[in-house]
Amino acid sequence: MEKMRSTTILAVRRNGQTALGGDGQVTLGSVVMKADAKKIRRLHGGKVAVGFAGASADAFALLERFEAKLKDFQGNVPRAATELAKDWRMDRNLRRLEAMMIAVDKESLLLVSGTGDVIQPTDGLAAIGSGGSYALAAARALVAHTTLGAAEIVRAALSIAADLCIYTNRNLEVETVE
């Protein structure tokens, strides 16, 4: 079976604002299967935004578990992510999930990996997915050389990633958390 490739998710925190965005492309081998997938979700009454990458069913399973952890820990994103990562590492079925996510709220920006890592980047930038490294490089350059806000940087960096990564398109979705 061909490997499904999809998604570029980017988060940027700048000047008290956090933006999280993603493209809409889902690819199976060399075929675009869907161009308008929604990979950014609002959780916990809209206070938390999550972007996910990976196998679709696995990403949704991860998202559901994270949402349950948010409820368990009254919307505390770092605690919910840490508890999810613990479960992910210890549960045999969860360990098989091929997915990653970025979760943001007004205070936190965290990357949760499939290996059970919870990473809070020091520079306020995080990216995952097929075009993640392109988007991250573009965002770093834009942060260093422009005065653009977080949402504008996310849009511009995702557009640059779409120019470089064949698994990324320009059907962008960007959410902000202030």
Give me the active site residues, please. 7
Rounded Cα–Cα distance for residues 73 and 69 (Å): 6
Inter-axis angle of helices 150-164 and 132-145, nearest 10: 130
Cβ atoms of 15 and 160 closer than 8 Å: no
**Residue 95's pLDDT is what?**
61
**Residue 1's pLDDT is what?**
39
Give the pLDDT means over successive 10-residue stretches in the chain (178 positions).
68 96 89 92 96 84 91 97 85 70 96 86 96 97 98 98 95 94
**Residue 58's pLDDT is what?**
79
**Residue 155's pLDDT is what?**
98
**Residue 2's pLDDT is what?**
43
Exposed, middle or buried: residue 122 (CB in 10 Å: 0-12, 13-18, 19+)? exposed
Class of domain 4-177: alpha beta
* Domains of the chain by residue range: 4-177
Rounded Cα–Cα distance for residues 64 and 102 (Å): 14
